[in-house]
Chains A and B, each alone.
Chain A
Amino acid sequence: MASLKELKGRINSVKSTQKITKAKQMVAAAKLRRAQAAAESARPYAERLAAVMASLAAKVGKSDSAPKLLAGTGSNQKHLLVVVNTDKGLCGGLNSNIVKEAKLQAKKLIAEGKDVQFYLIGKKGRAPIKRDYASKIAKHFDTSTVKTPGFEEADSVANELIGMFEAGEFDVAHLIYPTFKSALAQDPTTVQLIPVPSPEDAAGGDAVVEYEPGEEEILEELLPRYVKTQIFGALLEREASEQGASMTAMDNATRNAGDLINKLTIQYNRSRQAAITTELIEIIAGAEAL
């Protein structure tokens, strides 16, 4: 049985842990609201860009002159997995879920006999992926130096990826990132990034649209922009997911700390009671002996 003093010490330490987790939870809740707003305000751009892309891609289609970013390199051997992880921990199972998804995809591709490489964004994915695929990590991009990754970061990631694509370092790239559903659920999602998947609904073929300079030129300018937007969207989703997951994880931690405090307090009270009873018995026994 632990002594009263020890118990008191433990109660106090759990209490201060609870204070920290509670503070972190509240910080995450505040940041979540901002991250969600940012993710929402980025949506109109992505939607419009996708709509324009769809109508243009339907026009230029699969002709021979279609840009490489749309049509692909023609081969399907070298795959790149762009994995978006968070920079900070304390967000529950978020990062391990993303890594699990990434490893699943990698395993599937390797089983098909493809070459797989990783491009990592964010700190927390490095260690677990390195453990299994140390030789396959092509690059990682550090987003921990900026407070909130913005379009500039997406821009440089996209430029690097497009550079690698043009240098023939990979044929197909997939983007793996967490989609923010709610504070409780963030699902890892895999989407094809390069070559840009041709949109399914070839809507708006009827309107005669004039293009300046030309359809292909516009498409050529549009595709890198589209890749950028995708990465930017993934970064924003990551931000919201991180805060959401962190909020939930810290909420659980705060509650667990509360339970632990209750349990320890009961134990503390019991031991105190026991000590008092023993003392009383000693006094009474002493008095009776006289």
Chain B
Amino acid sequence: MALHFELVTPEKLVRSEDVHMVVVPGSEGEFGVLEGHAPFMSTIRDGAVQVYAKEGAEPETIEVRGGFAEVGDAGLTVLAEHVEA
């Protein structure tokens, strides 16, 4: 039921948790990732990643800069060059 979400920067592993949905600012448009998403890879533009911990919950936004997102069997991994806390 939960999507495993990881946010990684060169300095450290920022997030590693199970969430409901994540909306990622892809370079060709935002996309939301739920559990069981097909394998997908995209570069991201500077913007906010929105993390929905629970269904219908208020999203938590994390500003990221430069990087890309990968959706695989293990869940969603966002590799960002810089994350604004």
Seen from chain A, the residues whose Cβ lies within 8 Å of a Cβ on chain B are 38, 41-42, 44-46, 48-49, 52, 56, 150-151, 154, 207-213, 217-218, 221-222, 225, 228-229, 232
Which residue of the partner chain A has the closest CB to B27? A213
In this assembly, does B68 line the interface, its C-beta being within 8 Å of a C-beta of chain A? yes
Q: Are B41 and A209 in contact (CB under 8 A)?
A: yes
Known: A48-B77, A48-B79, A221-B68. A209 touches B13 (CB 8 A): no
Q: Nearest Cβ distance between residue B38 and chain A, in whole angstroms? A: 7
Q: Nearest Cβ distance between residue A49 and chain B, in whole angstroms? A: 6
In this assembly, does B39 line the interface, its C-beta being within 8 Å of a C-beta of chain A? yes
Known: A44-B8, A45-B10. A213 touches B81 (CB 8 A): no
- Contacting residues, chain B, for A154 (C-beta < 8 A): 10
Q: A48-B79, A52-B41, A210-B39 given. 7 additional CB < 8 A pairs?
A: A44-B12, A151-B10, A210-B40, A212-B40, A212-B43, A213-B42, A218-B41
A-B contact pairs, 13 of them (CB 8 A): A41-B12, A42-B11, A42-B12, A45-B79, A46-B10, A52-B79, A207-B72, A208-B39, A210-B39, A210-B40, A212-B27, A213-B28, A218-B42
- Contacting residues, chain B, for A212 (C-beta < 8 A): 26-28, 40-43
Q: Are B41 and A211 in contact (CB under 8 A)?
A: yes
- Contacting residues, chain A, for B46 (C-beta < 8 A): none
Give the secondary structure class of B's interface.
strand
Q: Give the complex CA separation of A210 and B43 in angstroms.
A: 12
Give the interface size class of chain B: 20 to 34
Q: Give the complex CA separation of A222 and B70 in angstroms.
A: 12
Seen from chain B, the residues whose Cβ lies within 8 Å of a Cβ on chain A are 6, 8-13, 26-28, 38-43, 66-68, 70, 72-73, 77, 79, 81-82
Q: Are A218 and B68 in contact (CB under 8 A)?
A: yes
Q: Are B28 and A232 in contact (CB under 8 A)?
A: no
Known: A52-B70, A208-B39, A210-B41. A38 touches B81 (CB 8 A): no
Q: Nearest Cβ distance between residue A254 and chain B, in whole angstroms? A: 33
Q: Are A225 and B39 in contact (CB under 8 A)?
A: no
- Contacting residues, chain B, for A211 (C-beta < 8 A): 40-42
Which residue of the partner chain A has the closest CB to B66? A225
Q: Nearest Cβ distance between residue A147 and chain B, in whole angstroms? A: 15
Q: Nearest Cβ distance between residue A237 and chain B, in whole angstroms? A: 13
- Contacting residues, chain A, for B39 (C-beta < 8 A): 207-210
Residue of A42, A46, A210, A212 with most partner-chain B CB within 10 A: A212
Known: A41-B11, A42-B10, A151-B10. A222 touches B38 (CB 8 A): no
Q: Nearest Cβ distance between residue A272 and chain B, in whole angstroms? A: 59
Q: Are A225 and B81 in contact (CB under 8 A)?
A: yes
Q: Give the complex CA separation of A172 and B66 in angstroms.
A: 27
Which residue of the partner chain B has the closest CB to A150? B11
Q: Are B40 and A222 in contact (CB under 8 A)?
A: no
Which residue of the partner chain A has the closest CB to B68? A218
Q: Are A45 and B40 in contact (CB under 8 A)?
A: no
